[in-house]
């Protein structure tokens, strides 16, 4: 279980890609690992799991305790645009988007 932002509940992530992703991963351990990607992509992709939200919640962490929906397949596609051609991403590029508790916070809390 991964910690949420301070003052927010914890949430669980789904992962695809690099099989060695862990708290202590380094560029060297990631480069030496295997991948779930058919094309051998060693990047690590993750996102908060999808859950059913309903009255069966076991704690007061609304939106973080329903049954987890496990994906059968995940496809990530990066497309170019008219401004330029698609180029490889730089090594160690990291990014985070979205709001892990948008279902309970609503769109007004997006960062």
Domain boundaries, the chain: 1-104
- Strands 50-51, 68-69: pairing kind: antiparallel
18 beta partners: 35
Using CA atoms, how far apart are residues 103 and 86, in angstroms rounded to an integer?
A: 33
Rounded to the nearest integer, the mean pLDDT of the chain is: 74
pLDDT at position 69 is 86
pLDDT tens per residue, range 22-44: 878 888 999 999 999 888 889 88
Given a cut of 80, whether residue 78 has pLDDT beyond it is no
pLDDT tens per residue, range 48-74: 888 777 665 555 555 566 788 888 888
């Amino acid at each position: 279980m991964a910690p949420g932002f301070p003052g927010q509940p914890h949430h669980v992530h789904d992962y695809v890609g690099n099989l060695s992703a862990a708290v202590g991963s380094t560029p060297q351990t990631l480069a030496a690992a295997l991948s779930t990607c058919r094309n051998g992509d060693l990047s690590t992709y993750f996102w908060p799991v999808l859950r059913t939200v309903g009255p069966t919640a076991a704690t007061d962490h609304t939106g973080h305790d329903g049954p987890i929906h496990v994906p059968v397949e995940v496809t990530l596609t990066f497309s170019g645009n008219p401004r330029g051609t698609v180029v490889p991403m730089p090594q160690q590029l990291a990014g985070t988007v979205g709001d892990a508790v948008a279902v309970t916070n609503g769109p007004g809390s997006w960062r």
